[in-house]
Structure 1
Amino acid sequence: MQIHTQSGPVRIVNEPAYSFGSHDNVRTYPLEVRLSDGTLTSVHAVELNGLGVVVVGARGGCSAVHEHSAVAIKDKLYLAVGDHVVCLSLDFPHRLVWATQVDTATCFGIFWEGKRAALISHGELEIVRLTPQGDVIWSASGADVFSEGFSLLSDCIEVVDFNRTTYRLDYTTGEAIV
């Protein structure tokens, strides 16, 4: 996945074989962020202007890199990895700004709704609205896993669970719109 940012091109890559603290990795990153103790199920790395800057590992369900794995807003990169969303500074020195666990299983993607300045996490079990500072505004769950569709509409968030039940969530409150 590649994103064009004000800091330059950012590329997000899967690093499933990366070993934190080891000198035997194929690629190295000056900043390693391990969000969980024990076994990490998802490891994603960030390259900026062709140079590796950070690798992030988390637990939860395994997440792969795809078109909704990250969003860039000004000098920040918001990255979905495992059961977390993290905010990374794209300005030098690169650093972890915050990390928030957004789902008890896995985060499928992170989305930006600019009109409302809303970061929306599409999780397996929960849809979460975050502030750009990483605070949870609300969290909503359904009867089954949210695996069959996700859309940011003009008036609501629409998500479909495994049973094909459609939920429409209010951007402000996270409550179901009937």
Structure 2
Amino acid sequence: MLELTHGNIRITVSNNHTYSVGSVDNAASFKHEYLLDPKSEGHYSSKHGVRTERDGDEIASCILVAGGGASGIHTNSAVIHANSCYIAVGPFVASLSLPLLQLEWYTESDCATCFGVYFSPKHQCLISHGELEVARLSLKGEIVWSTGGADIFSNGFELLGDCVKVIDFYDQIYLIDIESGRGLMR
């Protein structure tokens, strides 16, 4: 489970592997059910529940459901900026309004799995750490650029001011300019 705060609002994001879309018999219930990948035809690998509360009282709840590669919940699964919570779910990044958790948009930022989402204050954008691609997204969910490497980006990811440092399966290091998406010399 991941816990975030926004002013006096507490946001929790959790895995809900046993959640069954459309069922009334789920162990956990949510006010909103957002299917991000309708073409998955019921084969959903990522099910992330989100709840907001203030002073111990629930404000809203939703579950984000997607196919593609499964994404887990960890420190970089979600980030808050302004009045939005951005969450990596399967191959998507989704934006939820705070505190009511209305789905603002969702974008497929990787063709396999989005491992995490980051906010770059200097560039006022989101960076998606995907399994196969690193992508820059506008705060409205538009992909500004996307770039891949020789293998999956599984061995490290870091924002370094004006660039992203990402390491692939074979420990090859990539430095990617946040502004342009071009690789930088090391």
**TM-score under structure 2 length normalisation:** 0.92
Q: Which residue of 2 aligns with 1:175?
A: 182
Distance 1:147 1:73 in 2: 26
Q: Which residue of 1 aligns with 2:63?
A: 55
Distance 1:147 1:79 in 2: 19
- The one-letter amino acid of 1:53's match is S
Distance 1:90 1:28 in 2: 19
* Structure 1 residue 91 displacement after superposition: 3.5
Q: Which residue of 2 aligns with 1:16?
A: 17
| 1:99 maps to which of 106, 115, 124 | 106
Q: Is the 8 A contact 1:36 1:57 kept in 2?
A: yes
Cα offsets for 1:101-155 (capped at 9, x unmatched)? 0101100000011111020000000000000000000001000000011000023
Runs of 4+ more than 6 Å apart:
none
- Size of the alignment, in residue pairs? 177
Q: Is the 8 A contact 1:124 1:147 kept in 2?
A: yes
What fraction of aligned residue pairs are identical, expressed as a percent? 39
Q: Which residue of 2 aligns with 1:75?
A: 83
Q: Does 1:43 align with 2:47?
A: yes
Cα offsets for 1:51-87 (capped at 9, x unmatched)? 3511001111111100000001121000001000000
Distance 1:24 1:90 in 2: 27
Flag structure 1 segments of 5+ consecutive residues without an equivalent: none
**TM-score under structure 1 length normalisation:** 0.96
Distance 2:20 2:44 in 1: 10
Q: Which residue of 2 aligns with 1:146?
A: 153
